[in-house]
Amino acid sequence: MEARKLIKLTNETKEMNCSEVYAQFKMLIFKTIGEYKNTNLTSDELKSIGNMSLVKAFNKYKPEFGSSFSTLLVPVIRNDIKRERSEEHTSELQS
């Protein structure tokens, strides 16, 4: 059974598991990774990073701080993509 936690949405707070959070925020994930479609990362790589970032944000999220989940999710996705791009660039330079 998946862990459930309180997730603050725009107008309400709901108890959700990670799958439910993905269903709620998948369009935001696609929109955010779409900002990076003209980079050295493939569409599949961006989708994978977006999905892993959602799990990371779900595990880190604390509704008691008062922010909605999307406030954490978007920066986590962007930072993970930037980190991946940086690592790929570094490995290309070392080759």
Q: How many alpha carbons fall within 13 Å on the CB side of residue 44?
A: 0
Residue-level pLDDT at 93: 52
The tens digit of pLDDT for each residue in 50-63 reads: 999 999 999 999 99
Tell me which residue of 50, 52, 58 sits closest to 78, measured CA to CA: 50
Q: What is the pTM of this model?
A: 0.88
The tens digit of pLDDT for each residue in 41-94 reads: 999 999 999 999 999 999 999 999 989 999 999 999 999 999 999 876 566 555
